[in-house]
Structure 1
Amino acid sequence: MFDSRQFQSILHQLMGRRQFFENIGSGIYGAALASMLCRDAYGEIEADSTTSQGSRQTFDLAPRRPNFEPKAKAVIHLFMNGGPSQMDLFDPKPELDRRHGQSYFEKIAGEVESPGSGGALMRTPFKFAQHGQSGMWVSNAMPHFAKCVDDVAMIRSMHTVNLTHEPALYHIHSGRTIPGQPSLGSWVTYGLGSESANLPAYVVLDDPLGLPVNGTQSWASGYLPPIYQGTRFKATGTPVLNLDREFDEPDEVTNAERSLIGRLDRLHRSRRPGQAQLDARIASYELAARMQLMAPEALDLSQETQQTLEAYGIGDKITDSYGRRCLIARRLVERGVRFVQLYIDSQIWDTHDHLQTELQKACDRTDKPVAALLNDLKARGLFDSVLVLWGGEFGRLPIAQLRGGDESVTSGRDHNKNAFTCWMAGAGIKAGTVHGSTDEIGLMAVEDRVSVSDWHATILHLLGLHYSDLYYERNGLKEKLTGVDQARVIKEILA
């Protein structure tokens, strides 16, 4: 063993006084850098870690206080991949009937993703009628939804910033046109946590026939801790893989095993602070253990009446898959899940050709289940506390997209970033209202325009969160869902 004098002598031989202070200075800088990196990864330490305002030190799914009294406690997001055509579903344009076949491509060439196939103005092949006491216009492609129009607020003046699927998908889900950003569902669960200790806060019900073109990134947590990313459930077969016990044993033995594993996990974690992936993995395992008791019951549709199953179209080849997911969504929010997101196939709304047949197929698969969900939420007293969202990433153009053959049959519509339609229903929504409008041919949103940031701000507002107060500190910036965009809450559609 060295005494202090021997240590000082050795230190003096290794470096002079000037070198010593140079190295200790680097150490201070290193400590400062480590502190900054830790803060970037885990957020600022807050005096009150129970509030949803801003970053915080503790990352878990415990329920958190909103900024103000919320209208909605949960969200069901019915995302329609591909871009539904607004002038064929919800936004009738008589001018397209009058000007059908007129040349117009040269006026909007810069707004067309595939300019080589641009054609003339094209009328809708569907028939529109007014429905309900509100007199809202809906085409005959959606006969079931047409009976629910008095329950929704229709926004006809949405617009976005990119006409290509991937950037538009990133934008509608995360507020940015680039990958690696937290999704809307991740922001909501980061801000509010979960009302259920035994189910995930954010559940994704994707289509077994295919993912969106950007894969699983639509429900990623980005730079937020991974505990806030979406958890995928399967609608058919075993909804959650590897959830069942490997063998039967008394509950007391299982509980003792879990208690021991929990103590070992906490000991392991205490020796490795600041490991977001480790924290998320432990939390995921603990949740999976609790889900063994709750998830099978929540996902068991045999508990539903035959009348309910038929209303959702379960058992019908066309509507069975989406109907199951809509019914599972209702059962999940009923049990405290905060955010449920449904996807439909890869791009079934991306009607570049055969507009009438392809758009009708998309409606046939979704129309009845969506209407059943709205009616079911009302019947069960959930409509006033659950916010339902419907829409895609952009809309379609008023001109024909030509793909050869008989143009009256094969023509479709290309992407349109300047106008699309979505609707909202349920908690806090002024039902039976139409907000905003497009120009006479449906090309541009012109009145009461609504940006994606406005839409995000409104969703957060209904959940009791102010969009400017929900942030995550990263690289010295207060990152928000709405970014640096000027956003406004769409108060005109709020009850």
Structure 2
Amino acid sequence: MTNQSRRQMLFRTGFGLGGLTLSSMMPGGGIFAASAASLVDPLAPKDPHFAAKAKSVIWLHMDGAPSTLDLFDYKPELIRLAGQEVPASFLQGIKTSTQGGVGKLYASNRSWKQYGQSGAWFSDLLPNIAQHADKIAFIKNSKTVGATHDISILKLNTGDVQPGRPSLGAWVAYALGAANPDLPGYVVLYDGNREPTGGSVNWSSGFLPAVYQGTAFRPGDSPIIDLEHPELVSDPQQREELNLLKALNDHRSALRPEDTELQARARSYELAYRMEKSAPEAIDLAKENDATKELYGLNDNATKGYGTNLLRARRLVERGVRFIQVVSGPVADTGGVDRNWDAHSALEKNHGAHTRKVDKPIAGLLQDLKDRGLLDTTLVVWTSEFGRTSYGQSGDGRDHNPWGYTQWLAGGGSKAGYTHGATDEIGLRSIGTGVDTYDLHATVLNLLGLDHLKVTYLRGGRRERPTVVYGDVVRELIA
């Protein structure tokens, strides 16, 4: 008998009794749900808990938090009271972070119109998305905790305000595996010249095995570093080198089965080898026709970067990628400084530039998914870390608002042409219970066929789940 520790023996014989218990919690159920294939390949496809309405998610994060008061949430009373002090009745129970009051009520110079049979309100900043009003399910009573970007973005993506938890995309990859073995199951796309706010912690696998973390594609024509096949190495030579590397890694992994970083690294070499052929084709837009490129705004410098990411997202959906996180990048202001949606001042200029950048590509994505028969099975989520207040200290901008703002869903089994909840008369706080980040995550998982209470991972004797402590599926948002 070879010399091995008790822990290693239990691992090699199916993780022991604790492993059998864990396998019974995995999607698909049953004591042997963690099949031999899934143990060898942690990204092997897994069955959902119940019939899924959506197969993929495109998660559109508007980095910096736009003012949905100036996009979707029409408030005549705010316009009427603009320039006045905020009535005390609206501030009850609200803690403000500013030192000298909250500033006067502010109304931007927007015109508003209702669209579609649903009669949804849109401002003139979003003329293209407005044409798809009847595809959208609005969540107008969104709420969160925290009022700083790093904390609230972390909560938006991971469900917690402390680093270390898996992102929603990582939970999806863990629960469902990868539908395409030649591409990552979870991809992150961003534009601009730097990583989004908070960086890679927002697509981390946290305490889940590292194989489930998001794969970030850089902006530009070569989004994956060093993907090209080495010129001086033949394909058989490369295959032999990988086989040797795999044998060495397997030997080391057998000695330290708890080292998920090593397992993930070993699998990444194999995935990278296959991606040499599959990934360039998946992100290459050369074969897209001129009409499609125009639909996404690729012929306009203002929309090209973001439109390229959305067109790539559609191509990745077609190729079975489960979760695509697209983060909107900054735009240059009149002084040449790159800024995201965080408009504490000069909101008109800021939001004018950002909506010009994203409006046409998002509308193009919705239309393209619809035309290709993909919208029914692709859930598009438009979201941000929080909203913006009805007031602002600067007089021409808005401050951070975690108490009430708008997010929306489209496709993937969501209820088209529907509005859920509302904010008060000046758009400052949600009326009633509100939809927290946990509820949004639970609803997205439900549309993917997953019960968020049953997507669990045993960590230090504690059964962890995506929604951390609480969370309810918003049934009204589901068709």
- TM-score, normalised to structure 2's length? 0.89
SS in 1 for 2:292: helix
Q: Which residue of 2 aligns with 1:16?
A: none
Query: Which of 65, 86, 92 in structure 1 is aligned with 2:68?
Result: 86
Matches within 5 A, 1:73-472: 73-104=55-86, 108=91, 111-116=95-100, 118-247=102-231, 250-345=234-329, 348-402=340-394, 407=395, 411-447=396-432, 449-472=434-457
Matches within 5 A, 1:37-48: 44-46=19-21, 48=23
- In the aligned structure 1, how far is the partner of 2:72 from the partner of 2:459? 41
- In the aligned structure 2, how far is the partner of 1:105 from the partner of 1:177? 31
Deviation track 1:84-103 (CA, whole Å, cap 9, x = no partner) reads: 11211101100012111111
Instruction: Confirm or deny: 8 A CA contact 1:87 1:124 kept in the other structure.
Output: no
Following TM superposition, by how much is the alpha carbon of 1:123 offset from its aligned partner in structure 2, in angstroms? 1.8
Deviation track 1:424-462 (CA, whole Å, cap 9, x = no partner) reads: 011111101111001111111004621111111000000
SS in 1 for 2:381: strand
C-alpha distance 70-470 of structure 1, shift in aligned 2 (>3 A) = same
Q: Which residue of 2 aligns with 1:60?
A: 42
SS in 1 for 2:58: strand
Instruction: Confirm or deny: 8 A CA contact 1:174 1:184 kept in the other structure.
Output: yes
Report the residue type matching 1:439 in the other structure.
D
Following TM superposition, by how much is the alpha carbon of 1:260 offset from its aligned partner in structure 2, in angstroms? 4.2
Instruction: Confirm or deny: 8 A CA contact 2:25 2:454 kept in the other structure.
Output: no
Instruction: Confirm or deny: 8 A CA contact 2:129 2:363 kept in the other structure.
Output: yes
- In the aligned structure 2, how far is the partner of 1:306 from the partner of 1:95? 45
- In the aligned structure 2, how far is the partner of 1:122 from the partner of 1:416? 14
Following TM superposition, by how much is the alpha carbon of 1:480 offset from its aligned partner in structure 2, in angstroms? 1.1
Following TM superposition, by how much is the alpha carbon of 1:144 offset from its aligned partner in structure 2, in angstroms? 0.6
- TM-score, normalised to structure 1's length? 0.86
- In the aligned structure 2, how far is the partner of 1:452 from the partner of 1:82? 16
Instruction: Confirm or deny: 8 A CA contact 1:50 1:65 kept in the other structure.
Output: no
Following TM superposition, by how much is the alpha carbon of 1:124 offset from its aligned partner in structure 2, in angstroms? 3.0
Following TM superposition, by how much is the alpha carbon of 1:237 offset from its aligned partner in structure 2, in angstroms? 2.7
- In the aligned structure 2, how far is the partner of 1:269 from the partner of 1:49? 24
- In the aligned structure 2, how far is the partner of 1:47 from the partner of 1:476? 11
Deviation track 1:231-266 (CA, whole Å, cap 9, x = no partner) reads: 011231311101111115554444444444434433
C-alpha distance 461-86 of structure 1, shift in aligned 2 (>3 A) = same
Deviation track 1:94-146 (CA, whole Å, cap 9, x = no partner) reads: 00121111112866495333334732111232111001121110100001100
Deviation track 1:195-245 (CA, whole Å, cap 9, x = no partner) reads: 010010100002233323312211111111111111011231311101111
Following TM superposition, by how much is the alpha carbon of 1:288 offset from its aligned partner in structure 2, in angstroms? 0.5
- In the aligned structure 2, how far is the partner of 1:436 from the partner of 1:47? 38
- In the aligned structure 1, how far is the partner of 2:404 from the partner of 2:76? 17
C-alpha distance 275-356 of structure 1, shift in aligned 2 (>3 A) = same
C-alpha distance 130-44 of structure 1, shift in aligned 2 (>3 A) = same
- In the aligned structure 1, how far is the partner of 2:370 from the partner of 2:384? 24
C-alpha distance 181-159 of structure 1, shift in aligned 2 (>3 A) = same
Instruction: Confirm or deny: 8 A CA contact 2:25 2:456 kept in the other structure.
Output: no
SS in 2 for 1:455: helix
Deviation track 1:281-332 (CA, whole Å, cap 9, x = no partner) reads: 1011111011001001111100100111111111311001000000000001
- In the aligned structure 1, how far is the partner of 2:258 from the partner of 2:409? 39
Deviation track 1:318-357 (CA, whole Å, cap 9, x = no partner) reads: 0010000000000011101111001112562111000111
Larger mean Cα displacement after TM superposition, 131-140 or 54-63? 54-63
C-alpha distance 421-45 of structure 1, shift in aligned 2 (>3 A) = same
Query: Which of 51, 75, 86 in structure 2 is aligned with 1:69?
Result: 51
Instruction: Confirm or deny: 8 A CA contact 1:50 1:64 kept in the other structure.
Output: no
Following TM superposition, by how much is the alpha carbon of 1:83 offset from its aligned partner in structure 2, in angstroms? 1.3
Unaligned stretches of 5+ residues in structure 2: 331-338
Instruction: Confirm or deny: 8 A CA contact 1:113 1:414 kept in the other structure.
Output: no
Following TM superposition, by how much is the alpha carbon of 1:399 offset from its aligned partner in structure 2, in angstroms? 1.1
C-alpha distance 458-343 of structure 1, shift in aligned 2 (>3 A) = same
SS in 1 for 2:315: helix
Following TM superposition, by how much is the alpha carbon of 1:35 offset from its aligned partner in structure 2, in angstroms? 8.7
Report the residue type matching 2:140 in the other structure.
R
C-alpha distance 448-338 of structure 1, shift in aligned 2 (>3 A) = same
Query: C-alpha root-mean-square deviation of aligned residues, in Å?
Result: 2.6
- In the aligned structure 2, how far is the partner of 1:96 from the partner of 1:61? 50
Report the residue type matching 2:407 in the other structure.
C
Following TM superposition, by how much is the alpha carbon of 1:46 offset from its aligned partner in structure 2, in angstroms? 4.2
Following TM superposition, by how much is the alpha carbon of 1:173 offset from its aligned partner in structure 2, in angstroms? 0.8
Name which one, 1 or 2, has greater alpha-carbon Rg. Answer: 1
SS in 2 for 1:421: strand
- Give the number of aligned pairs: 454
- In the aligned structure 1, how far is the partner of 2:45 from the partner of 2:425? 47
Instruction: Confirm or deny: 8 A CA contact 1:113 1:415 kept in the other structure.
Output: no
Instruction: Confirm or deny: 8 A CA contact 1:196 1:335 kept in the other structure.
Output: yes
